[in-house]
Structures are given as C-alpha cells and as structure tokens.
Amino acid sequence: MRWMARSRDSFSVAHPAVNFAFYAAVLGISMFCLHPFVLGISLVSAILYGAFVRGWRHMARLLGVFIVPGIIVVAILNPTFNHNGVTLLFTLSNGNSITLEAIVYGVALAITLAVATAWFVSLNVVLTRDKFVYAVGRVFPTASLILSMSFRFIPLFLRQFHDTTVSQRYLGHDMRSARWWEKIRIALTVTSSLFTWSMENAIHVSDSMRARGYGRRHRSSYSPHRWDTRNVLLLVVIASLAGITIVATANGGLAAQYDPTIVISGIHAAPSGVWTWLGAVAFLLLANVPVAVRLFDVYLWKRYERALRLGPGTRRQTRWSVVLGSDDVSAEKQKEKVPQWR
Amino acid sequence: MALISMRDFSFAFPGSQQILRNVSLTIEEGSFTVLLGPNGSGKTTLLQQLHPVLAAHGDRTGEILWRGKNVSRETSDAVASRIGFVMQRPESQIVTDKVWHELAFGLENQGLGDDVIRRKVAEIATYFGIEEWFDKDVSELSGGQRQILNLASVMVLNPELLILDEPTAQLDPISADNFIQMLHRLNYELGVTILAAEHEVQKILPFASAMVVLTGGKISAAGAPRDIIPDILKHNPSLASAMPVAAQLYWESHSAASRIPLTVGEGKRWLKSVGGDGAVAETAAGTATSVTQSTTSKGEGVTVPETPVTLSARDVWFRYDKNSPDLVKGLNLHVHEGEIFALVGANGSGKSTLVSLLSGVNSPYRGRIELGGTRIERIAPRELYRNFLGVLPQDPQTLFVQKTVAADLKDVAKRRRRKDDRDELRLQESIERGAEALGLMHVLERHPYDLSGGEQQLAALLKVLLLRPRILLLDEPTKGMDEVAKQRVIDIFHELQRQKVTTVFVTHDVEFAARAADRAGMFFNGDVVSVDRVHPFFSTNNFYTTSASRIARDRYPDAITKDEVIACLTRANS
C-alpha cells in the first residue's frame, strides 16, 4: 500500500477553483443530505483519499482515536437528549423515553461529523494557503493582499519575538527565573519593543509598496494558476455529477427522514426508484474524482514508461493491467532496466 | 546625458539642523555610481530625496532634475515609476508571503493582466536565477536570496535608474559578492543606471564608473574612482582607510607607478613592478616578522596564551530536532582569559546556532560548554548574564527598549550591581565615557531605531558593555560599520583586554578579524577547524584571508593587515 502515498497527487495540482468546487460539492451534499447511501459513500471515499494523501497509518489512527469513538459518543448521547420518535424502546426511571428514531438519527449525525473530519484531512493538504489567498482574491482583491501580507508578517513577527526575548535574557531579564512582578515588567518591555518594531516595519513595508507604485492605479490581482483542458474537464465532471445528485435528492430519490418516523428511500418505508440509484452512483463517482485523477495519472505514467522501454510505436499496445503491475510480458525486464516509478 | 541631477540641494527635517547642504550631483545615464560616506553622513537622506515617492517631508531648497527637467508635482509619479529603490534591510521591504507574488506585486499595482504579468515574472525569475525557489515562502529564504528577490521585484518594473541604500550591509560575503555581480550585470548587460551607497567599497569599486563622497551632508569629492581616490587618500584621512587596500598601499609607499591599483590583482601586479629584487624581499620579510611580533613561525606549532581557559567547548553536538541534521558536530574550542578570539567562516544557521550554544540559549545534546570552569547549564541565568557573560546578538535592534539611546543605556546601567554603581553621577559618567569612546555622543538623544546600522551596532555594544561582562560574545559586531567605528571597536577590545576581559566574536569581516584578534579559528561544517594565532592563521590561508595578505604575500608572507604591509614597504624604501 505504500505506493499509494508515494504517487504524486494530481488533484492537488489542479486549478484552485476545481479544488474548491469539489470540496464545496462533496461537503455540502454530505451535510444536507443525510441519506445513509450518501453518508456511507462519503465516509469511505474521504478515508480512501485521505489515505492516499496522508497515508494509511494516519487515517487508521484518526479512525481509531477520533472518528469511531466520536460516532459512539454522539450515537449514545443523542437519544438521552432527544426523545422524539414514535418507536418507544423503553422508558428511563426519570420518565424520559428512549426511541429507535433518536438512536438512528444520532448515528446519522455522528457519521456526518465523521465525514467532515475525514474530508478535512485531505482538504488541509490540497487547499494550501496560497490557494486560499487566491480564492479570496477573486472575490475581494484587497482582502487577498491583506491576507498575503499577514502571512508574510506572522513568521517575521514570531522571529522578532523570539529574538527580543533572547536579547532581554542577555541583558539579565530572564522570564524563566524571574519573580512574578519581574515577569510582568519583562513582558511589558518585550511587548513595547515589539510594538515599536512593528510600527517601524510597517513604515518600511509601506515605503516599499509605494516605491513600487502601490495606490497609483487600479490594482489587478495576478494568479499563477492557469485554466487548461484538464481543469475545465474536471470542473465540468464535478459540476454535472453534483448536479445529478442534487436533482436526485430534490426528486426524493435520496430522501431521508428520521423524525417522527424513519423514512429512507430505498431502505425503509419508501421504495427505491431510478433517482435513488442514479443519485447514489453519481455521488459515488463525484466523491472519488480525486482518487480517479490520481490513479489515471499513475496509469499514464506507467504507459509512458512502458513506451520508453519498448521503443517508439508501441504506446498503443499498453493494457490496463499495467496499472496493477501484473505485466505478464516484461515483468522481469522491467526490474532490470527501468527504475520503477515508486 | 545626465539622467538625474541635484542642483544646490539642501534638506532639513522640520525643526532640526540641515542634513544635506548645497548638494550638486549629476548621475550620467548608464553609469554605475558609488556613493560613499561615513555613518550618519546623510547618504540615506540623499538617496531618498532622489525618489519622489520616498522623499521625506522637510525644508527643501534647490532642485532635482530628471533628464534636465525639474521634477514637479505633476511629473513626480512618472519619475517615480522610472526609479527602482532597494533598501538596506532585506526583510522589511518584502510585502507578500510568496516569492512569485512578491515579483508580481509591482505589476499588479500597474493593473496589468495575468498573461502580461506571467510573462514578465517568468523573464525576471530566469534572469535572476530565482526559478529554484520560485514557489517558496519568503520566510524560507536566506538573507542573500531575500535581497536578490528585492532587487528582482524592483527590476521587474523596468526602471531606468536603480538606487540602492547599502544593499549588502546585512549580507554574508558570498551573498554580497553575488549581489554586486548582479548589479554589475544589470549595468553592463542592460545599461541600467545604478546609484549605490556603500561603505564597504572594496568589492563594488572595481565595477563603478563614478564615485561620490559625502561627508557631513556635503559632497567632498566626485568623479571617476581612479581620479578622486588619490585626493581622498591625501586630504580625507577618515575616509582613506575605507579605500581599497591596493590603493592605500600604493599611496602610502609613494609609488611612482602612474596607474593607481584598485583590485587585488592590480595590487599584486603593481607590487611586482616596484622592485621585485630578492634581497629586498628577504629583509622585508624579516622586518615583517618583527613588525607583527608574530610568536610563531612555520613548524613551531601553535602557541597558546598562558592564562587559564575561560570559555571552553568540548565535543559539542547539536541539532534542533530529533530528525534534523546536526548543525554542530563534535566542536572543540578553548579560549583563554583576556584573549581576543575571532571565529570566521560561519554562515547562515551555523553561525546563529554557535552563538546560541556559547551563550546558553540552546544546550548541546552531547558534550559540554564551560564558562570559567563551570558548566553553562549549572550557572543560574541571573548570575550568567549579570557581570559575567555579555552577548551582542545578531540584530542589535532587539536590545533596544527605550525611546532614546541615553534612556536605554541608563536602563541597563542601573541594574548591573547593587551598591557602588547606584549613585546617579557615577552612572552618568560611565555612560558618557563609553559613548565618548564609541563616538556616540551626538546620537544619545535620538530614538535607537533612527540610528544608522553601524551606529546601532555601537550603541548595542555599549549597552552590553555597561553590564560589565567578564566574557564578551559578539555576533557580527562590525556589520554596517565604517572604518572609523571599526577602529573604535578595536580600541575598546584592547582596553577590555587590559582589564582581563575575554572577547569572542563571530565575523565575516576578515580584515577586522586580522586587525582585532589575537587568535582566530575557522568554523566549518559544524566544527572549529584550524585554530591559530591570527598571523599564521591568515598567512597560511590561501582563499579565506585579508586583501593585504593576498596582495603582498609573495614578498611579505607574515604581514596580514595593510598597516603591516605599509610598515614593511616603508622600511624597504628607506
């Protein structure tokens, strides 16, 4: 399984708009549609992609330490507060009733939280700071400059804070060994020094900005990201799959009601229709777009390597089996000649 | 044709005395002009006044002309967009968090579209060799890379005139060389007009086509370097020691050669041309030995002072994280009481790590560091930094906490000892004596941040000295200092030596190390290698040595400072 974590993540190098569209669609649908199909697909896909990006160990630890205990806690807690529902299981000594509906709803709620947690694992890696700045910039150009300047200033400030503290130590003002009233005085000294430094730094930065023409004309907001065919294609795929899922939900194909009675299309008290299966399949595909993109690139690279190995004119003969590594023709050759991509 | 010129220009900040006095200056198109002047001579003010946007408000008389036309309110924006400005501190002029964004910043201000910006940024990144760190955060860059980034993000706007205010003062020598080479390329390949203030002219002067000397707000000399350097050497002793060593040697030996040498290579050729006869060389070498009072000669082994060891590091290993590489590897260092010890060669993280270990901020994971025979971890912080170990950190600004230099000095002097120094008068007296010795009297009432880089170093040094340390540890003490200030520091070192104070300093300034230190060691790859007395140290080094030694080593192998070489030359002449 190690090759999974080692292969390159093609989805995170896609255009930020594609990344944002994907997470908005997947998280939005998972939050608003509490159908078991959607939640199950979402959780499994999130864990799968998380494992690709951060490795199985990380995901296993997250599952064991946070997600599974979290599900159990919420599933137990919900019925003790929530007493709605028609199927009475038993009555507690204080007169509160525990209902089946409340328990099931608790589980669904817990899984929703788990889904969000699991998706955020990959989101943290994929949506880097500069993509965030970019996204803000498309909407509010000035805000994005302020964000970018803040991200510049924070490490600088922290370093200055460290240096000033150390310098004060050199002058005999040591926080660690000082008495409490001295500690307050040292802290005040450091704070006032940092304040002066920040003002000074701000003057230099504003000089540097004005000297480079800031404020003289209307500003544009440059983005180093480019739209290419692949990004457009990805966006179209994400949009249409999300569209199908939403339409399916709207038409009751993925309807889920937990209170006062449980009505879940395709599972309980409601028949499954075309919309149910269409919606579920669309969402399954949607949630696995990043993994698919990644695997597709693995395949492309394998094919490329094979073509190099066999010489020109042989690219077409590549089979899908290559992806899985069970290349019957030249498994031996491959080991000798070509450094494996992993 | 004159690109920009000042005519009879004077400037004063509101309510204070004139900083620039009747300055007339012409910068020719395509020239490379070096502006030279001691600390506090008004260099920064002059450069800022040339840039319409950065010019400080105050009382201005006289005029500034751009291509022969007066810079008025209407034309100032247009002129500003033709001038690029690079300041001294690499950190504080970076605006954004990403390298690519910093390069694009000025272009965004012009309201250009993505495609144009992409093209220009790509071009400039390639020209300046930024590709490898193009996607990085600016906080990950080294000081040298940051300054190159500043230069590139100004050059992307395609200015005709590039003004730089001591751009290499905060850089290590290799980054400084790179930076100056880059300036030379801009001037030579692209014809960009360059005006750079520097006080370390050794490296930049060979590329300069013109030189302007500013003293006390007045222009005291201007012209081609070779024409005016003899004048400076003759009439301006305070600036003479800032001139290239080759030129000083040439001047002091009253050489008859017609062309004044500026670089080491020229100096070497000149020295060969003036009587290379063997007998002279031999006696001169003998004289050199007596002049330098070198206690060792080849094969005799290293002599060490007889006083006890007061700072020692034994087999010290250090790294920041479990998984990060070792930055200090089995370091051994023994410094004796009353010794002046120079550590050269360390750069980047190695240097700051070394200082943090020797000053007790970080602890080694293996090995021990002892001060005065006690392990540094065992000394209570209260004891360690009061009247025992004085440390001058890399950034002197972090030491200042008060509104004026005087208040800052008083603040520290108050808290050194309880009884005998309490008395206000004695305190004031010791501050004034120190300020006098370091030439800081005129800045005592100023805000510490308003001082020039060199003056800040001096004030910070004085602050540390007022704690009366027995061991002094200095990180790059001469950064941004002019020659006069350096000489003052050397005098202080010797004064301290008489009081048996031990001084250890880390520096890139080999000329200073050769003049100031008794012994020197080279920090390389996490260890101090080749510890020796300074004379054998620098005279056996082939690459990492002083300019004087590079020029004169064939004839006077033991002379390492220019004064020693001059002494040898005069003896040989007489």
For B349, the token pair is 């993280």
> Residues near B395 by Cβ (< 8 Å), separated by ≥ 6?
A163, A167
From chain A, the residues in CB contact with B51 under 8 A are 211
Q: At what angle do helices A274-287 and A289-310 cross, to 10 degrees?
A: 60
For B251, the token pair is 């001047």
Alpha carbons within 13 A on the beta-carbon side of A97? 10
Between A40 and A257, name the one with better pLDDT.
A40
Between B414 and A161, name the one with better pLDDT.
A161
d(CA B264, CA B246): 6
Tell whether domain B309-548 is in CATH 3.40.640.10.
no
Query: How far is the alpha carbon of B164 from chain A, nearest alpha carbon, in Å?
Result: 12
Query: Alpha carbon B365 to chain centroid distance?
Result: 33
For B179, the token pair is 């930076």
From chain B, the residues in CB contact with A192 under 8 A are 401
- Under an 8 A CB cutoff, do A217 and B51 touch? no
Opening angle at CA A50, ends A110 and A148, nearest 5: 100
How confident is the model at residue B417, as a pLDDT? 54
Classify domain B2-236 by CATH number: 3.40.50.300
pLDDT > 70? residue B228: yes
Beta bridge partners of B28: B2
Per residue in A259-293, pLDDT (tens digit) is 778 888 777 777 778 888 899 999 999 999 999 99
Cα pseudo-dihedral A222, A224, A229, A234, rounded to 10: -100
Of B37, B169, B150, residue with least CA distance to B457: B169
d(CA B195, CA B222): 13
Q: What is the DSSP letter of B170?
A: T
For B358, the token pair is 């020797």
pLDDT > 80? residue B17: yes
User: Are B49 and B79 in contact, with CB atoms under 8 Å apart?
Assistant: no
Count A/B contacts: CB-CB distance under 8 Å: 156
How confident is the model at residue A6, as a pLDDT? 60
Q: Residue A139 in 3-state DSSP?
A: helix
Considering CB atoms only, which of A160, A172, A200 is closest to B449?
A200
Strands of the sheet containing B340-344, edge to edge, are: B389-392, B471-475, B502-507, B340-344, B519-524, B527-533
pLDDT > 70? residue A336: no
User: Are B171 and B89 in contact, with CB atoms under 8 Å apart?
Assistant: no
Instruction: Return the percent helix, strand and coil in chain A, to nearest 5.
Output: 70, 5, 25
Per residue in A121-144, pLDDT (tens digit) is 999 889 888 888 888 877 787 888
How confident is the model at residue B199, as a pLDDT? 77
User: Are B216 and B484 in contact, with CB atoms under 8 Å apart?
Assistant: no
pLDDT > 60? residue A337: no
How confident is the model at residue B124, as a pLDDT? 95
- Under an 8 A CB cutoff, do B380 and A219 touch? no
Opening angle at CA A31, ends A26 and A34, nearest 5: 110
User: Are B241 and B248 in contact, with CB atoms under 8 Å apart?
Assistant: yes
d(CA A327, CA A312): 19
d(CA B222, CA B201): 15
How confident is the model at residue A22, as a pLDDT? 95
pLDDT > 90? residue B491: yes
How confident is the model at residue A71, as a pLDDT? 86
How confident is the model at residue A95, as a pLDDT? 78
Predicted confidence band at A55 (pLDDT cuts at 50, 70, 90)?
Answer: confident
- The average pLDDT across B166-190 equals 90
d(CA B68, CA A188): 53
For A316, the token pair is 């077409």
The total of other beta-carbon atoms located within 10 Å of residue B276's CB is 11
**Mutation target vs A (from B388, B398, B400, B418; most A CBs, 10 A cutoff):** B398
Alpha carbons within 13 A on the beta-carbon side of B571? 19
- Under an 8 A CB cutoff, do B91 and A221 touch? no
How confident is the model at residue B506, as a pLDDT? 92
Opening angle at CA A128, ends A124 and A134, nearest 5: 135
- What is the percentage of chain A residues whose pLDDT exceeds 70? 89
d(CA B401, CA B424): 20
**Interstrand relation of B32-36 and B193-197 (parallel, antiparallel or unpaired):** parallel
Is the alpha carbon torsion for B40, B68, A212, B166 positive or negative? negative
Q: Rounded to whole angstroms, what are the CA distances from B275 to B257, B263, B269, B564?
A: 11, 20, 11, 19
- The average pLDDT across B267-286 equals 63
Question: CA gyration radius for chain B?
Answer: 25
Task: Tell me the backbone φ, ψ of residue B273, rounded to 5 degrees.
Answer: -70, -30
Phi-psi region of B564 (alpha: psi -120 to 50; beta: other; left: phi over 0): alpha
For B188, the token pair is 């030579």
Residues 10-69, chain B, touching A (beta carbon < 8 A): 51, 53-54
Domain with CATH 3.40.50.300 in chain B: 2-236, 309-548
Question: Is B110 exposed, middle or buried, given 0-12, 13-18 or 19+ CB atoms closer than 10 A?
Answer: middle
Question: Which residue in chain A has the smallest CA separation from B358?
Answer: A170
Question: CA gyration radius for chain A?
Answer: 28
Helix (H) or strand (E) holding A60: helix A56-62
Question: Which residue in chain A has the smallest CA separation from B136?
Answer: A130
Between B115 and A272, name the one with better pLDDT.
B115
d(CA B349, CA B359): 15
Q: Residue B171 in 3-state DSSP?
A: coil
pLDDT > 80? residue B472: yes
How confident is the model at residue A315, as a pLDDT? 53
Q: At what angle do helices A141-170 and A129-139 cross, to 10 degrees?
A: 140
Q: What is the DSSP letter of B301?
A: -
pLDDT > 80? residue B473: yes
The total of other beta-carbon atoms located within 10 Å of residue B442's CB is 10
d(CA B412, CA B461): 12
How confident is the model at residue B49, as a pLDDT? 93
d(CA B510, CA B537): 11
Predicted confidence band at A319 (pLDDT cuts at 50, 70, 90)?
Answer: low
Does A192 contact B at CB distance below 8 Å? yes
pLDDT > 80? residue A339: no
Q: At what angle do helices B405-414 and B424-437 cross, to 10 degrees?
A: 130
d(CA A150, CA B301): 57
- What is the percentage of chain B residues whose pLDDT exceeds 70? 91
Residues 427-456, chain B, touching A (beta carbon < 8 A): 449
Query: Alpha carbon B157 to chain centroid distance?
Result: 29
Size of chain B in residues = 574
d(CA B56, CA B50): 10
Beta bridge partners of A98: A90
pLDDT > 90? residue B46: yes
What residue type is assigned to position B387 of the chain? Answer: N
How confident is the model at residue B493, as a pLDDT? 94
From chain A, the residues in CB contact with B153 under 8 A are 212
Greatest Cα-to-Cα distance within chain A, rounded to the nearest angstrom: 81
Is the alpha carbon torsion for B469, B470, B474, B480 positive or negative? positive
**Mutation target vs B (from A133, A156, A170; most B CBs, 10 A cutoff):** A170
> Residues near B448 by Cβ (< 8 Å), separated by ≥ 6?
B397, B400, B402, B404, B405, B408, B456, B459
Task: Tell me the backbone φ, ψ of residue B475, rounded to 5 degrees.
Answer: -105, 110
Strands of the sheet containing B59-66, edge to edge, are: B18-28, B2-12, B59-66, B69-70
How confident is the model at residue A340, as a pLDDT? 42
Per residue in B335-363, pLDDT (tens digit) is 999 999 999 886 766 878 888 999 988 89
**Mutation target vs B (from A159, A194, A208; most B CBs, 10 A cutoff):** A208
Is the alpha carbon torsion for B91, B94, B99, B103 positive or negative? negative
**Interstrand relation of B18-28 and B2-12 (parallel, antiparallel or unpaired):** antiparallel
Task: Tell me the backbone φ, ψ of residue B260, rounded to 5 degrees.
Answer: -80, 125
How confident is the model at residue A338, as a pLDDT? 43
Query: Of A18-32, A96-110, B489-503, B505-519, which range is least confident?
Result: A96-110
- The average pLDDT across B483-495 equals 91
Greatest Cα-to-Cα distance within chain B, rounded to the nearest angstrom: 74
pLDDT > 60? residue A328: no
Phi-psi region of B24 (alpha: psi -120 to 50; beta: other; left: phi over 0): beta
Of B542, B412, B394, B549, residue with least CA distance to B480: B394
d(CA B238, CA B193): 29
- The average pLDDT across A246-256 equals 86
From chain A, the residues in CB contact with B111 under 8 A are 217-220
User: Are B357 and B332 in contact, with CB atoms under 8 Å apart?
Assistant: no
Opening angle at CA A165, ends B353 and A206, nearest 5: 95
Q: At what angle do helices B114-127 and B99-109 cross, to 10 degrees?
A: 130
Instruction: Give the ipTM.
Output: 0.87
Q: Residue B402 in 3-state DSSP?
A: coil
Per residue in A198-209, pLDDT (tens digit) is 999 999 999 999
